[in-house]
Structures are given as structure tokens and as C-alpha cells.
Amino acid sequence: MANNLLKGKRGIVFGALNDKSIAWKVAERAVEEGATITLSNTPIAVRMGTTNELAEKLHAEVIPADATSVEDLENVFKRSQEVLGGKIDFVLHSIGMSPNVRKKRTYDDLDYNFLNTTLDISAISFHKMIQVAKKQDAIAEYGSIVALSYVAAQRTFYGYNDMADAKALLESIARSFGYIYGREKNVRINTISQSPTLTTAGTGVKGMDKLYDFANRMSPLGNASADECADYCIVMFSDLTRKVTMQNLYHDGGFSSIGMSLRAMNTYQKGLDEYKDENGNIIYG
């Protein structure tokens, strides 16, 4: 249901890889709500993924960029203002990747070059994006910048690995830059802490199917879907939230405030056998 919440607004959506991506849903919803947008993803993702299909459907230009490259980001903001015809009202950072997770390096055996890459792609790219935007004065007054986070920034989750550190940094950047950009240009910066979601990045997390099920049982409202996350992003981009900034906003069906639910307790009746080695010792990972 469209309410013209973003009528006349211009936005940039980073991170739509395929139709499971949270960014994909956000892009669709933003256009449905009256916005015009550009899309960005890595050159390889644009070639291998289906971003171009989305672009065609939404009449949006795709501007390839590695979000760790300041030069690429400068081009995204410059080109987006040209294509969309003015300053940008909203930006979605929906980017995450950990080579340690991909290569199955556990948290007590991290490869530090991989860790640098995790932090650069998943968190520092957010700083780079905002710094580039501010230097170009590319964001309109009361513009809204949102990045997607996860509750592993606050609490430890099996298998989330160095992405937990990346999310903690991401949320901190939202606060630190939110102060400066808010003070100087009334631009707001927030993170949305989303439920486990079955996307390409999500399913890369060890034990994701079980985590998804557990979070669903723990959350009074159940897990929030990618479509529901898109709805929340739209509200955060809209003029209805002009005084919300420097926040980490949970969008998780209540998960972050629950200690234990009856439905989740039932999952403990299941065994841990599949997490044991041949000697019967639990593999923690």
C-alpha cells in the first residue's frame, strides 16, 4: 500500500544483489512511495547478480562502486545528484561481508587481513559514504541515512564471528557522525537492527536456519521479514521521523527485549549431537 511518503524525494540504495536482498525490497518500496533512486553495488555483483533487472523495473540507474573505495563513492554521489536532479534525501547502506565467515575461520583463529576487509566493507564503508556525501554537500536538509545492523553488536551470538565487531563499529559510526551531520546540516543517521533474514549474506552465517527458527520462537511478534524491514526504512526516510537520529532501532519482533519465551524453551529439548565431534565433545565454532 503506497502513501506517497517519499513523494519527490531522491535516494541512493546500496546493496541490492537479488530479490532476497533487503536493499531490493527497500528500493521497490521507495519507488512505490514516490521516490526516484539510483542503485549501487560492486561491479562484480552488478555483473553476476540481478541488480540490472531491478534497475530496469524501477527506471533507476545503476552506478557500480566498491563501497570501500572513496573514489567510487565520490562518483556515486556525484552521478546520483546529476541523474536525480538535485541533492539526495535518503541513503541506504545495506552492505556486509566477512571473508573470515566465508572461509570458516573461527573467532579464536581470525585471519587479520580478512578482519580488516570485514571491517572495511561492513562498517568503515559507512563512514566513507557519509564523509564523501558531506564533503560534496550532497544530502538535503533533514536527509536520512540508514544502515542495517544486527543485535550481535550488543550480545554474543554463536557463529556471527567478526561481523559482530563490524556491526558494533557501524552503530558507533552512526552516533559519531550523526552528531556532526545533525549539528551542521540537520542530516539524521540511524541504524536499523534487523531480525535474521534468509538472504544471500544471511544464509552465510553458520547455523543460520536454526538461528532464524530460534529468533522466531523468541520474538513475541516473530521475525521481521525483509519486506517489513523495507517498510521501516521508508518511515525512517520519510518526514515523519525528522527528529530521530543517532539511534540503533530494533526491528526484530521484540527479540532484543526478551529473556526467554515458552516457544524458544521448547527448542532446548532438541539434542546438540550434530555439534559434537567423534569424541562427544561439543564443537563451539
Ligand X SMILES: NC(=O)c1ccc[n+]([C@@H]2O[C@H](COP(=O)([O-])OP(=O)(O)OC[C@H]3O[C@@H](n4cnc5c(N)ncnc54)[C@H](O)[C@@H]3O)[C@@H](O)[C@H]2O)c1
Enumerate binding residues for ligand X (CB under 6 A): 15, 17, 20-23, 41-42, 45, 66-68, 94-97, 121, 148-150, 194, 196-197, 199-202
Of the candidates 131, 144, 120, which has an alpha carbon nearest to the alpha carbon of residue 77? Answer: 131
Q: Is the distance from CB of 1 to CB of 29 less than 8 angstroms?
A: no
Any residues with CB less than 8 A from the CB of 66 and at least 6 apart, and which? Answer: 42, 43, 72
Cβ 94 to ligand X shortest distance, Å: 4
CB-nearer residue toward ligand X: 141 or 227: 227
> What is the identity of the amino acid at 1?
M
Cβ 23 to ligand X shortest distance, Å: 6
CB-nearer residue toward ligand X: 50 or 176: 50
Cβ 148 to ligand X shortest distance, Å: 3
CB-nearer residue toward ligand X: 80 or 194: 194
* Residue nearest ligand X, CB atom distance: 202
DSSP state of 196: P
Any residues with CB less than 8 A from the CB of 38 and at least 6 apart, and which? Answer: 11, 12, 13, 60, 61, 62, 63, 76, 79, 80, 83, 84
> What is the identity of the amino acid at 244?
V
**CB-side neighbour CA atoms (13 Å) of 59:** 7
CB-nearer residue toward ligand X: 143 or 196: 196
| Positive/negative CA dihedral, 145, 94, 172, 177 | negative
Q: What ranges in 136-261 are assigned the alpha helix state H? A: 163-185, 200-203, 208-218, 226-237
Cβ 44 to ligand X shortest distance, Å: 8
CB-nearer residue toward ligand X: 20 or 87: 20
Cβ 107 to ligand X shortest distance, Å: 17
CB-nearer residue toward ligand X: 86 or 254: 254
C-alpha cell at 14: 546500496
Where are the strands (E) in 15-136, listed by range? 36-40, 61-62, 88-93
Cβ 198 to ligand X shortest distance, Å: 7
